[in-house]
């Protein structure tokens, strides 16, 4: 449960930041999938352990990576206004 809560902090802050940065009309599935992939890409396979499957909510790089991925997905899916 703790891991899920941490992931939600990263995901939500990055999703909202990414959507706001491009003034997205809505948050679509492509943006959510991009957020999930960005979180998954933060941890290298050799770093995976039973206790470490998602980055810490205090990892500033994670929220930034999610925001960038969400912004890109918004532009590619046509929901971005800038």
Provide the whole-model pTM.
0.82
> pLDDT tens for residues 14-64?
899 999 999 999 999 999 999 989 988 988 889 888 888 777 777 778 889
Which one, of 75, 82, 81, lies nearest residue 34 by Cα? Answer: 75
Please tell me the least confidently modeled range out of 5-14, 29-38, 68-77.
5-14
Residues 6+ apart with CB under 8 A from 13: 63, 66, 67
d(CA 13, CA 61): 12
- Apex 8 CA angle, 6 and 11, nearest 5: 115
Say yes or no to pLDDT of 76 above 90.
yes
């Amino acid at each position: 449960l703790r891991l899920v809560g941490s992931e939600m902090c990263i995901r939500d802050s990055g999703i909202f930041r990414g959507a706001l940065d491009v003034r997205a009309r809505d948050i679509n599935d492509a943006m959510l999938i991009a957020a999930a992939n960005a979180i998954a890409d933060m941890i290298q396979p050799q770093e995976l352990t039973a206790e470490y499957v998602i980055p810490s909510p205090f990892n500033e790089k994670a929220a930034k990576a999610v925001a960038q991925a969400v912004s890109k997905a918004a532009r590619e899916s046509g929901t971005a206004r800038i």
